[in-house]
Amino acid sequence: MSLPEEIARFENNWPRSFASVVERNYGWLFYNRDNLESHDSNHAIFLNLEVDLDAAIANVCVFYEDLGVRPRVYHGFIPGAFEILLPRLLALGFRSELLDEQYFTWTKSSDIEPVRGFELRRIRSLNQEVIDIIGPEETWTLGVIKRQASRPDCHLLVGYVDGVAVGLAQIDLVDGLSRVDGVTIQPKHRRQGYGRALMHGLVHYHREISNNVLYLYSSNPSAVRIYTEVGFTKLDWAPRKW
């Protein structure tokens, strides 16, 4: 299996870490009754287009409407998703969001000079410091992290400067891959180099605990510059995501 195929499999399965799943002949239905505000926790992906697509989409709609949430379908990295499935969804009243995301893997040492007094620590439960970084109004994000933080393959990392929590990032490890997610600097601590310090610490932390391929994706030019500085290289792979 190629690296893009491994990443696609990881991405498709990732919501299992914080949501339940029902498997159908056309794909998977993720849901979390305790976090209905989270789109990542409540969406379908299609993995087989050799079915009655109208009936399958109707089944998706009924499933999520019964939960009391708007039906959502995520890209499943399968051939025909853009050319066959998306037009069918649009014809049935769905709206689309096109995602211009680039994928990167860590390939070389960081060029960043660490911030003096910066320290990275792993935490294993949702606490007030994490809530303050993300913001208490982001209840859906906090609901996802609450489910993930206690898992042994999820490393929730908080960055501190002189003992003050300033940022947060997450690494999920499984089957030879490690996924970076949720990189956040608390608004009042931004533009002070802490994002770079956080990513510098993250790649060194990962190197100490795993030989997995470390990857992430982004469409934010400012974030991409930081990722490049800490040693990430863009993959020659750009799936048409929506």
Reported as a pLDDT band with limits 50, 70 and 90, residue 21 is: very high
CA distance linking residue 187 with residue 48, whole number of Å:
42
Nearest to 10 by CA among 120, 125, 105, 124: 105
CA distance linking residue 211 with residue 92, whole number of Å:
45
192 by DSSP, 3-state: which?
A: coil
The confidence score (pLDDT) of residue 238 equals 86
* Tens-place pLDDT, residues 47-104: 999 999 999 999 999 999 999 999 999 999 999 999 999 999 999 999 999 988 999 9
HSE, side-chain direction, 13 A CA sphere, residue 139? 5
Element (H, E) at 66: helix 53-67
Statement: the pTM of the whole predicted model exceeds 0.95 = no
Strand partners, 184: 168
The confidence score (pLDDT) of residue 185 equals 94
Nearest to 144 by CA among 170, 112, 114: 170
**What tokens were used for 32?**
């979390």
In this structure, the strands spanning 177-185 and 213-218 are parallel
Q: What residues have CB less than 8 Å from 176, skipping those under 6 apart?
A: 6, 212, 213
Q: Are 113 and 141 in contact (CB under 8 A)?
A: no
**What tokens were used for 12?**
């498709």
* Tens-place pLDDT, residues 205-237: 999 999 999 999 998 999 999 999 999 999 999
Nearest to 110 by CA among 200, 26, 4, 213: 200
